[in-house]
Structure 1
Amino acid sequence: MFESLTASIIAFSAAALVIVTAGSRLARVADELADRTGLGEALFGIFLLAGVTSLPDFAATLSAALDARPDLAMSNVMGSMAVNLVFLGIADVVYRKANLEHAAASPTTLMLAALLIVLLTLPLLAIATPPVALGGVHPVTPIIVAAYLFGLHLVMRSEERPMWFPRHTRQTVPDKPVHHRRGGLSLAWLSFIVLAAVTGLAGWVLMEAAKVISDQSGLSETLVGGLFTAVATSTPELVTTIAAIRAGALTLAVSNIFGTNCFNMLVVAAADAGYPGGPIYHDMAPVQMTWGLVSILMTGILLLGLVRRETYGIGRIGFESALILTIYAAALAIIIAGG
């Protein structure tokens, strides 16, 4: 699609800018739809906003997989999940009233964090198992899809009939619907769909440009995918999360990050299904396991923070946020040193 390195860099930057711009608008529309539809911030963030903000990852990863570039595909989606968790740490820094995990406590976020840990272990198990295939895909791939769907069922049950409630404090910010006067419900849905299409298209353009950048710059696909495209395709999560926090929709912000990472496991399954060389898990570099293990580690730490609910920590951020930022910086240094 792009022949020169210069054109690819320009296209990459333009696509990233489009993703950022559309993402900032998506948060406002999503908060409005969550209130108007009655779904609430948690469920809307899990089922709709998470899917939309994952579209750049989906388009970019599938494009690389179809082009038989397993390292670029998997480093993009696995790197994106690690970056998304870092965005929660950044969001905690932005929210100065209290620790974000304290203020946005809910049974739904706990369930999502636990579900994410379960889902992240599955592709790592596929890497460790013999290279078998059923219908061109690894047996773990349909298990990922089934586990995701069953996990969402459990999340919905916990949202509808929670068996425990977080202790309410002065810093807790519950999800309270707000009356929206401007426009109608149909216009809000139209805006949401258009923004979703724009972000998906931008993600595909971004990966096409990334392929040329990797080929002509001499950088490894692991580094390009795990750093550049992962950060670029994940910018909707950062933008929507920060916008949601500024709008006071804390539950939407946290559930969007965890929901997006859970949805990204379907992107992993799609990459395996679209990869022409058989199961994708055995054709990628072992370093890809680093992103998966780091994501499990960071999710576990965030889960501890959600349960502990520290009101204030060092620099008015939670211990979990400080830890995940440190861990990601160390993992990034390892990837760069090896790439």
Structure 2
Amino acid sequence: MIFLNVVILLFAFVALVKGADIFVDGSAALARFFKIPSIVIGLTVVALGTSMPELAVSTSAAIAGANEIALSNVVGSNIFNLLVVLGLCAVIHPVPVENRILKRDFPISLFPTILVLLASTASSLFNGNFLSLPMSADSGLVSRWLGIILLLLFVIYIVYLIFDAKAHPTEENEEKSLPLWKCLLLIALGLILIIAGGKAVVYSAQNIARFFGMSETLIGLTIVAIGTSLPELVTSIVAAKKGEVSLAVGNVLGSNIFNLLFILGVSAAINPVSVNVASIYDLGILIFVSLLTWIFSITKRQIGRLEGIVMLFCYAASMTFAIIR
């Protein structure tokens, strides 16, 4: 039984990654068909496409009532993106950081994390109750209203990106557009794989967690989070090996902002997401990791190899804490 669930989980991850890839290709082709600028495609369609696995898993978990997976998947993916994706890229090749990313994307990625932590767990945090509670105890709630606020912030963020892109235009790469029917076919096929893969990940992850006596929070923070971050990881490592790492920080922060604002927003709007004590610690770790990466980026306007190694060690330490707590 456990072997079957592991096989289902592996095939589900393959479906998620391939589905996201096909969805991005189809959506980008459709955007080109309607003459939408490539920079806008990159900031919206491609960023959403790489976050599709997290969206599929978190919304499936919210619908199924597996709220621990919905939240821990988003938080775990963001921690993984910052420490492992950027850390590995920096080890392979130092990652330069643009000044605009330092001033715009880092603050924007930090704000919703702090907002979710404070708004969902205010009473527990200020009373200090969570310190005396077991890790699995409920200590807060990402309400529907907070989910709607996150979605509104997401819309504002996208509108800002589009206006900013138009204010700082780049050269357009003219690519031959596909026929409309082929664009729609690719989008439909990608969505089918993503939705099916998302449901399969939640189903198998829950069964694996029960078999080993693991909490849904732990498995969402580790196995599910790593699996749904595969598109960002593979894309960034390939780019780093080719020496094309200039956009790595922007891509990772963009994905993290999508995860927090859009994916957690959608999940909470569907079904309020309960926050347990373990998730309070994880949100705190995410804030610390975001600040650490920001500091590393500010020092020399790049993330160096030594800093990349430190980030990988930090991820190992955070996972060790998640397992033994």
Deviation of 1:230 after TM superposition, in Å, equals 0.8
Distance 1:198 1:5, change over 3 A: same
Per the alignment, residue 70 of structure 2 pairs with 73
Distance 1:233 1:240, change over 3 A: same
Asked if residue 268 in structure 1 is aligned to residue 274 in structure 2, the reply is no
Per the alignment, residue 289 of structure 1 pairs with 280
Per the alignment, residue 129 of structure 2 pairs with none
Asked if residue 60 in structure 1 is aligned to residue 57 in structure 2, the reply is yes
| Paired amino acid for 1:127 | S
SS in 1 for 2:275: coil
Structure 2 portions without partners, runs of 5+: 125-141
Distance 1:295 1:26, change over 3 A: farther
Task: Give the whole-Å Cα distance in 2 for the aligned partners of 1:113 and 1:185.
Answer: 39
| Paired amino acid for 1:218 | G
Q: Is the 8 A contact 1:112 1:258 kept in 2?
A: yes
Deviation of 1:250 after TM superposition, in Å, equals 4.1
Asked if residue 201 in structure 1 is aligned to residue 196 in structure 2, the reply is yes
Distance 1:19 1:65, change over 3 A: closer
Task: Give the whole-Å Cα distance in 1 for the aligned partners of 2:25 and 2:239.
Answer: 7
Distance 1:45 1:201, change over 3 A: farther
Deviation of 1:189 after TM superposition, in Å, equals 7.4
Task: Give the whole-Å Cα distance in 1 for the aligned partners of 2:280 and 2:250.
Answer: 25
Deviation of 1:126 after TM superposition, in Å, equals 2.2
Aligned residue pairs total 304
| Paired amino acid for 1:336 | I
Per the alignment, residue 128 of structure 1 pairs with 121
| Paired amino acid for 2:106 | A
Q: Residue 303 of structure 1 is aligned with which of 269, 294, 302?
A: 294
Q: Is the 8 A contact 2:31 2:41 kept in 1?
A: yes
| Percent of aligned pairs sharing the same letter | 22
Q: Is the 8 A contact 1:79 1:225 kept in 2?
A: yes
Name the structure with the higher helix share: 2
Per the alignment, residue 89 of structure 2 pairs with 91
Asked if residue 225 in structure 1 is aligned to residue 212 in structure 2, the reply is no
Distance 1:44 1:307, change over 3 A: farther
Deviation of 1:310 after TM superposition, in Å, equals 4.4
Q: Residue 159 of structure 2 is aligned with which of 153, 159, 162?
A: 153
TM-score (norm 1): 0.75
Asked if residue 46 in structure 1 is aligned to residue 66 in structure 2, the reply is no
Per the alignment, residue 333 of structure 1 pairs with 320
Residues 67-76 or 137-146, more deviating? 137-146
Per the alignment, residue 168 of structure 1 pairs with none
Q: After superposition, give the CA deviation of every residue in 1:63-101 in whole Å (9 maximum; x if it has no partner).
A: 22222222222112211111121212222233x3xx213
Q: After superposition, give the CA deviation of every residue in 1:147-170 in whole Å (9 maximum; x if it has no partner).
A: 2222333344444446xxxxxxxx
SS in 2 for 1:219: coil
SS in 2 for 1:114: helix
Distance 1:334 1:40, change over 3 A: same
Task: Give the whole-Å Cα distance in 2 for the aligned partners of 1:298 and 1:15.
Answer: 29
Distance 1:271 1:311, change over 3 A: closer
Deviation of 1:10 after TM superposition, in Å, equals 1.0
Distance 1:245 1:25, change over 3 A: farther
